[in-house]
Amino acid sequence: MRIFAVAGEPSGDLRAAEVVTHLVGAHGATISGMGGRHMASAGAEIIHDISGCAVMGFGEVLGSLARFARLEKALRAACLAFRPDAVLLVDYPGFNLRFAAWASRAGFRVFYYVSPQLWAWGGWRLSKVARHVDLMITLFSFEADFYAGRGIRVFWAGHPLVDAVKDTSPGGNRLALLPGSRAQEVSRLLPVMLSCAGSLWRQGLVEGADIAVSDALDRRFYREAESEPFARLVDGTGPALENAAAALVCSGTATLEAALRMIPFVVMYRTSPATYAAARLLVRGVDGICLANIVAGRRVAPELLQGRATAPLAETELVPLLPGGRARSAALEAMGRVRSALGPPGGAARAAARIALELGGKVDPCLI
């Protein structure tokens, strides 16, 4: 079983690696393609590293079109030379939906893992998914319902974070700052988060702040935090949340991890004015951007978007979420819904088993 896999940014590399681990270990697959250190550690041959592939915002994407065109051409050639039984595309929709169309026309079976958020925006691309994706494998049950209702083959695997975050955090009296893994996110959010954290520290409301450092970024993006007496840099989301009473979190999967660890949090999001204006025109069917809110079907955390993503507003929203605060118990109750909505443990194993089954492999019926 030979699979050509494409993941384009740190979160996709991690999600892909979880599935690759099972494809290689349990199903004897040979994996080659684009990814990062997680995929490599899981047993994939990395022919193109994801460094520099994570781009956020319409303006930033436009400025990188020539580079992405060269990358796509190189990956097409590599895929043809590898001669896989299937192509596995993980997240990264701006690039991977184009690659899906090429791979399908080239005669390869196409599996897509971690669905593009077509339920929120980009619905016009559903016809492309229907034509070029043989099976969509989703993390969320509502996504599976969305595709099934439109006649697209889909399999709900469940979210692997349920396995990664088995227990709630022991807690503490620090503030976790999770500014993201993209350069644009960290540049825009970390200064604001630090300002809020500093104010809470000077008031004696928190003991300090732990900043989640992304290994995909140069340390210079965190230089401002290194000079603050209350701030401590830690490697990754889990260690940052370990001693947290509450958190400031960028949008995305980090909101799910904070909810699974039962750490009350506030979501912050900032992008370029042009990107935000375009997003407001395009996004339909959802009231906000926080995945934890969307998955739970109710407000788990307040959202501070664009011009409202300021230190004073973050402080206003955070203080009631700290121990003893009037909003803390309601936030904890709402977060309890997130774990049940993400499905049972074993999501990555189920995704790998379904891919193996599609390719004629023998799998444990209990997994699918």
pLDDT, tens digit, for every residue of 120-142?
666 778 999 999 999 999 999 99
Identical fold, 2-160+346-367 and 164-341: yes
When mean pLDDT is compared across 160-174, 180-194, 198-212, the lowest value belongs to: 160-174
CATH top class, domain 2-160+346-367? alpha beta
pLDDT, tens digit, for every residue of 350-368?
999 999 999 998 888 777 7
pLDDT, tens digit, for every residue of 63-114?
567 888 999 999 999 999 999 999 999 999 989 999 999 999 999 999 999 9
Neighbours of 288 (CB within 10 A): 17
The residue ranges of every structural domain in the chain are 2-160+346-367, 164-341
pLDDT, tens digit, for every residue of 295-336?
998 899 999 998 999 999 999 999 999 999 999 999 999 998
pTM to 2 decimal places: 0.85
pLDDT of residue 281: 47
The overall average pLDDT reported for the chain is 91
In the CATH scheme, what is the homologous superfamily, with its name and number, of domain 164-341? Glycogen Phosphorylase B; (3.40.50.2000)
pLDDT(344) > 90:
yes
When mean pLDDT is compared across 74-88, 169-183, 266-280, 351-365, the lowest value belongs to: 266-280
